[in-house]
């Protein structure tokens, strides 16, 4: 059974990927410092899977400890989720982002090279495209200059991976460019656990619907789109998790020094106002929202071309926007109704 090191495996996308790895016959090993997750995720993962999951509470950049884990666990592949991902925070604290997301990645790759770990899947983001000139966005769409240090760390990460695989310093790798991950596992045992005031739309919707937030603000309805609100490609986190297993399976059949990038989205764009209306219709819950000013840094519209994911990985999104919102709402309702942190 192949052992896969999952950095950030207790996080939102990481935990859902651990489920799919087990389901596909892998042995995931989680390394997570729990800076953006809770220990209940491990308990619930074990409940969901009916088995123990190995988890090291560990900063993945702590080289000596990571070395011991890799030696003890005989790791065959790495899926690297551990990264800071708040766009706004990255503007305020760029060094924190470059240290963790870029220096951390370099240290991890050095370890992968030293231990001849063959396969490396990197968590990238559609942020690397910036405001696309043409839609849908294909993997050959030009990358715009990053609009935030967060986006810059993803662009740098991809360049580093391309270079180290080309030079065969690590065997093969793939960068998955996520569009907007939303939803939760249908079991409602794992889901998104935003810390403090959610920056992202869907957790803000569900917390407002649950009465934990007074009102949702739609950041602008004066964009050049049909209803004036921004368009994104919202993908169910379970579909996104499955894409990582498909990427790993592909890498296992690829020769050394193979590297590629793949968009992981639904191929469909949905506006903010469409999301609100869909949420209200599938849950029957009226949302209290107002139209506010645009949010700095937001792009008007993006959604993925998904032909490469289908052709190369044999993967495509199966869940609908309705599925994602129903699952997100069910998850919100299972979360204890304690007041959310305001920090
Ligand atoms: C979506 C839309 C907002 C909150 C970011 C990162 C991306 C990925 C996902 C990490 C926008 C609008 C939001 C609210 C609103 N993160 N909105 N009111 O900015 O597309 O993507 O998160 O991988 O890399 O860039 O996601 O959910 O923040 O915003 O109107 O209270 O919802 O303006 O149009 P975004 P988002």
Residue 147 has pLDDT above 90, yes or no: no
Q: Ligand 1 pocket: which residues have CB below 6 Å?
A: 85, 87, 125, 127, 178, 180, 199-201, 204, 216-219, 230, 232, 272, 295, 298
**What's the average model confidence in pLDDT over 144-172?**
93
Q: How confident is the model at residue 342 (pLDDT cuts 50, 70, 90)?
A: low
Q: Which atom of ligand 1 is nearest to the CA of 299?
A: 34
CA of 2 to the centre of ligand 1 (A): 35
Any bridge partners for residue 271, and if so which? 231
80 SS3 class: strand
CA 270/CA 275 separation, integer angstroms: 7
Q: Which two tokens stand for residue 95?
A: 């060094």
- Among 317, 54, 289, 80, which Cα is nearest to 181's? 317
Helices and strands (H and E) in the chain: how many = 12, 13
Residues 45-61: what's their mean pLDDT?
A: 97
The ligand 1 atom at the shortest distance from the C-alpha of residue 148 is 25
Give the chain's mean pLDDT: 95
Q: Whose CA is nearest to atom 11 of ligand 1?
A: 230
Q: Three-state DSSP class for 293?
A: coil
The Cβ of residue 114 has, within 10 Å, a number of other Cβ atoms equal to 12
| Best residue for ligand 1 mutational test, from 124, 179, 201, 288 (most atoms within 8 Å of Cβ) | 201
Alpha helices, DSSP H only, in 94-186? 94-97, 104-114, 149-166
pLDDT of residue 343: 42
Neighbouring-strand partners of residue 304: 137
Query: Tokens standing for 191?
Result: 């889901």
Q: Which residue's CA is the closest to the ligand 1 atom numbered 21? A: 180
Q: How far is the CA of 172 from the centre of ligand 1 (A)?
A: 31
Name the DSSP letter for residue 282.
H
CA 19 to chain CA centroid, Å, is 15
In the reported structure, the alpha carbon of residue 181 is separated from the centroid of ligand 1 by a whole-number distance in angstroms of 10
Which residue lies with its CA nearest to atom 25 of ligand 1? 127
Question: In this structure, are strands 27-32 and 3-7 parallel, antiparallel, or unpaired?
Answer: parallel
Confidence band of 336 (pLDDT split at 50, 70, 90):
low
Q: Which of ligand 1's atoms lies nearest the C-alpha of 295?
A: 33
Q: Is 284 left (phi over 0), alpha (psi -120 to 50) or beta?
A: left
180-182 and 234-236 beta bridge pairing: parallel
Q: Is the pTM of this model over 0.85?
A: yes
Q: Is the pLDDT of residue 294 over 50?
A: yes
Q: Out of 3.30.1330.60, 3.40.50.300, 3.20.20.10, 3.40.50.720, which CATH number does the structure's domain 3-181+236-264 have?
A: 3.40.50.720
309-328 per-position pLDDT tens digit? 999 999 999 999 999 999 99
Counting Cα atoms < 13 Å in the Cβ hemisphere of 99 gives 7
For residue 40, give the 3-state DSSP assignment.
Answer: helix
Going by C-alpha positions, the residue among 225, 242, 247 that lies closest to residue 294 is 225
Q: Is residue 63 predicted with pLDDT exceeding 90?
A: yes
pLDDT surpasses 50 at 155: yes
Q: What are phi and psi of 175, to 5 degrees?
A: -105, 125
| DSSP notation for 225-252 | SSSSS-EE-EEEHHHHHHHHHHHHHHHH
- Mean pLDDT of all residues in 222-226: 98
Domain boundary assignment for the chain: 3-181+236-264
CA torsion angle 119 123 129 135 (round to 10): 90
Closest among 126, 135, 131 to 268, alpha carbons compared: 135
The atom number, within ligand 1, closest to the CA of 230 reads 34
Output the residue whose Cα is nearest ligand 1's atom 14: 201
User: Which pair of tokens denotes residue 207?
Assistant: 């917390």
- pLDDT, residue 87, reads 87
Residue 199 CA to ligand 1 center (angstroms) comes to 7
Q: What is the pLDDT of residue 170?
A: 83
Residues designated as active site = 150
Q: Residue of the nearest CA to atom 34 in ligand 1? A: 230
Instruction: Give tens-digit pLDDT for 79-91.
Output: 999 999 988 899 9
Contact 19, 43 (CB under 8 A): no
Helix (H, G, I), strand (E, B) or coil at 21: helix
Distance (Å) from CA 201 to ligand 1 centroid: 6
Q: Is 125 helix (H, G, I), strand (E, B) or coil?
A: strand
Please report the pLDDT score of residue 338 as a whole number.
47
């Amino acid at each position: 059974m192949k052992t896969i090191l999952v950095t950030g495996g207790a996080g939102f996308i990481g935990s859902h990927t651990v489920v799919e790895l087990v389901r596909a016959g892998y042995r995931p090993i989680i390394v997570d410092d729990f800076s953006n997750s809770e220990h209940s995720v491990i308990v619930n993962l074990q409940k969901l899977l009916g088995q123990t999951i190995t988890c090291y509470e560990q900063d993945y950049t702590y080289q000596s400890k990571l070395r011991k884990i890799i030696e003890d666990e005989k790791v065959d592949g790495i899926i690297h989720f551990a990264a800071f991902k708040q766009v706004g925070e990255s503007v305020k604290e760029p060094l924190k982002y470059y240290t963790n997301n870029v220096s951390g990645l370099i240290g991890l790759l050095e370890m992968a090279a030293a231990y001849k770990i063959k396969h490396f899947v990197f968590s990238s983001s559609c942020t690397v495209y910036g405001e696309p000139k043409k839609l849908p966005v294909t993997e050959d769409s030009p990358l715009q200059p990053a609009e935030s240090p967060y986006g810059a760390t993803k662009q740098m990460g991809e360049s580093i991976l391309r270079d180290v695989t080309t030079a065969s310093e690590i065997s093969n790798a793939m960068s998955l460019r996520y569009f907007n991950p939303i939803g939760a596992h249908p079991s409602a045992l794992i889901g998104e656990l935003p810390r403090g005031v959610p920056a992202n739309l869907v957790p803000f919707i569900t917390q407002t619907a649950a009465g934990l937030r007074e009102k949702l603000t739609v950041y602008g309805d004066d964009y050049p789109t049909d209803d004036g609100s921004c368009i994104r490609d919202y993908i169910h986190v379970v579909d996104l998790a499955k894409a990582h297993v498909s990427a790993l399976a592909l890498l296992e059949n690829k020769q050394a020094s193979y590297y590629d990038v793949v968009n992981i989205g639904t191929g469909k764009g949905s506006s903010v106002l469409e999301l609100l209306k869909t949420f209200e219709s599938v849950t029957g819950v009226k949302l209290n929202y107002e139209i506010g000013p645009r949010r700095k840094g937001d792009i008007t519209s993006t959604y993925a071309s998904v032909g490469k994911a289908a052709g190369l990985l044999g993967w495509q999104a199966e869940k609908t926007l309705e599925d994602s919102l129903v699952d997100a709402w069910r998850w919100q309702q299972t979360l204890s109704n304690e007041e959310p942190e305001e920090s």
